[in-house]
Amino acid sequence: MKVVELGSYGATDQLQIAERPEPAATPGRVLVRVAAAPVNPVDLAIRAGALAGLLGDVSFPLELGWEFAGRVLADEGSFTAGQRVAGVLPWFATRSGTYAEVISVDPSWLAPIPDGIDDVTASAVPLNALTARQALDALALSPGATLLVTGASGAVGGYAVQLATAAGLHVMAVASTDDEAYVAALGAKEVFGRPESAAELARAALEVAPDGVDAVFDPAGLGGALIGAVRAGGGFATPVARAVPTAERDIRVVNVRVSPEAGQIGELLQAAAAGTISPRIAGTLPLAEAAIAHARAGATRGKLVLI
In the list 41, 49, 90, 107, the residue contacting ligand NAP (rule: CB under 6 A) is: 41
Q: Which is nearer to ligand NAP, 255 or 276 (CB)?
A: 255
Q: Is 153 in the site for ligand NAP (CB under 6 A)?
A: yes
Within 152-277, strands assigned E span 170-174, 190-192, 213-217, 230-238, 252-255
Query: Residue 97: which of 44, 143, 136, 159 has the closest Cα?
Result: 44
In the list 70, 87, 97, 157, the residue contacting ligand NAP (rule: CB under 6 A) is: 157
Q: Which is nearer to ligand NAP, 34 or 222 (CB)?
A: 222
Q: What region, left, alpha or beta, does residue 132 occupy, with left being phi > 0 and alpha being psi -120 to 50 degrees? A: alpha
Q: What region, left, alpha or beta, does residue 38 occupy, with left being phi > 0 and alpha being psi -120 to 50 degrees? A: beta
CB 148, min distance to ligand NAP, A: 12
Stretch that binds ligand NAP, among 72-80, 103-111, 206-214, 253-261 (CB under 6 A): 253-261
CB 153, min distance to ligand NAP, A: 4
- Nearby residues of 196 by Cβ (< 8 Å), 6 or more positions away: none
Give the residue nearest to ligand NAP (CB). 154
CB 65, min distance to ligand NAP, A: 13
Q: Is 223 in the site for ligand NAP (CB under 6 A)?
A: no
In the list 220, 262, 281, 282, the residue contacting ligand NAP (rule: CB under 6 A) is: 220
Q: Is 131 in the site for ligand NAP (CB under 6 A)?
A: yes
Distance CA 103, CA 24 (A): 9
- Nearby residues of 300 by Cβ (< 8 Å), 6 or more positions away: 282, 283
List helix spans (H) across 124-197: 126-139, 155-166, 180-186
CB 284 within 8 A of CB 307: yes
Stretch that binds ligand NAP, among 39-47, 226-234, 245-253, 283-291 (CB under 6 A): 39-47
What does the binding site for ligand NAP look like in residue numbers (CB under 6 A)?
40-42, 127-128, 131, 150-151, 153-157, 174, 176, 194, 219-222, 239-240, 256-258
